[in-house]
Amino acid sequence: MPKPGGVFNFVNKATWDARNALGSLPKETARQNYVDLVSSLSSSSEALSQGKRGADEKAQESKDILVTSEDGITKITFNRPTKKNAISFQMYLDIMHALKNASTDNSVITVFTGTGDYYSSGNDLKNLINDAGEIQDVVAMSTRLLREFVNCFIDFPKPLVAVVNGPAVGIAVTVLALFDAVYASDRATFHTPFSQLSQIPEACSTYTFPKLMGPAKAAEMLLFGKKLTAREAWAQGLVTEVFPESTFETEVWTRLKTYAKLPPNAMRISKELIRKHEKQKLYTVNAEECAAALERMPREEYAKALRNFLFRKTKAKL
């Protein structure tokens, strides 16, 4: 993806100016004003870039996200196995596009899974840095894209199921709390190394994880980066059921085909009733997390942690 400019540089500069201007306000007032500002900037940049981005989405159909529809099931597959299904900018756009289409197609349920050994290793860190001089340029675009991406999951009207075939990392883990069911192979693991990378948790996990697991267990994952086995994730309420690797695919897909025969309108209405009281809260948390990430990313500590992590990965391959 080309280096962003224009509207994204404007958003980036405006948010830096805003942080300086809000510095003298009471903490809670400043935080809310900052969230409101990010929202307004996001809306403005959306209006300016919508036409170009819409054309880009149609023109750049990625092979890294596969979408199929069969037996009442829309399947969205992370298909970048040589990169452990790390999610590129284009893949984020493709997933959003796939969810939009799946919300109105004839399928009954929508399922995410991965190709190869990994479910997904999360955000491709090369999205955020190619060299030290590019960090600030991509910050505003990254956080705006993240907010829109997470909102797609919050808004999705049909039953949404994750078939976690292997290790999941970062946003591939945090977004699972927005799914209706998560089925995992017993070889799957769940890892959120945000502090290691000097990052902020995302996908509403600062709200959903404590609600699912309790604050202490959520802190183990989100603050200290504890990696959970599939059984541990099940015990904490993040995973619905764990299956033996040897029978995982057969058992899960047999069950999903049965679910796809259930009355679709009844499931949609039931999901809406289950989620309606939480939806506004999730929007707010998503906006706050993205505002915190937008403030955090340009700092030197973040840049240093990211460079060190990429250096260690490169060194390990030598």
Torsion of CA 97, 101, 103, 105, to 10 degrees: -170
CA Rg value for the chain: 19
User: CA 157, CA 153: separation in Å to the nearest integer?
Assistant: 9
User: CA 89, CA 145: separation in Å to the nearest integer?
Assistant: 8
Average pLDDT of the chain is: 83
Tens digits of per-residue pLDDT, 244-295?
999 999 999 999 999 999 999 999 999 999 999 999 999 999 999 999 988 8
Domain range 59-317, CATH architecture? Alpha-Beta Complex (3.90)
User: CA 259, CA 257: separation in Å to the nearest integer?
Assistant: 5
Tens digits of per-residue pLDDT, 175-208?
999 999 999 999 999 999 999 888 899 999 999 9
Backbone dihedral angles phi then psi of residue 167, each to the nearest 5 degrees:
-55, 140
Share of the chain above pLDDT 70, in %: 70
Residue 289's DSSP bridge partners are none
Identity of residue 147 = R
Among the ranges given (44-48, 100-104, 192-196, 303-307), the one the predictor scored with the smallest mean pLDDT: 44-48
Nearest to 84 by CA among 217, 233, 191: 191
The number of C-alpha atoms within 13 Å of 157 and in the hemisphere containing its C-beta is 14
**How do the domains of the chain map onto residue ranges?**
59-317
Identity of residue 264 = P
Is residue 48 classed as helix, strand or coil in its secondary structure? helix
Contact predicate 120/85, CB 8 Å: yes
pLDDT band, very low/low/confident/very high, at 158 (cuts 50, 70, 90): very high
Tens digits of per-residue pLDDT, 114-154?
999 999 999 997 766 554 445 566 677 888 999 999 999 99
Cβ-proximal residues to 236 (8 Å cutoff; 6+ apart), any chain: 212, 213, 217, 228
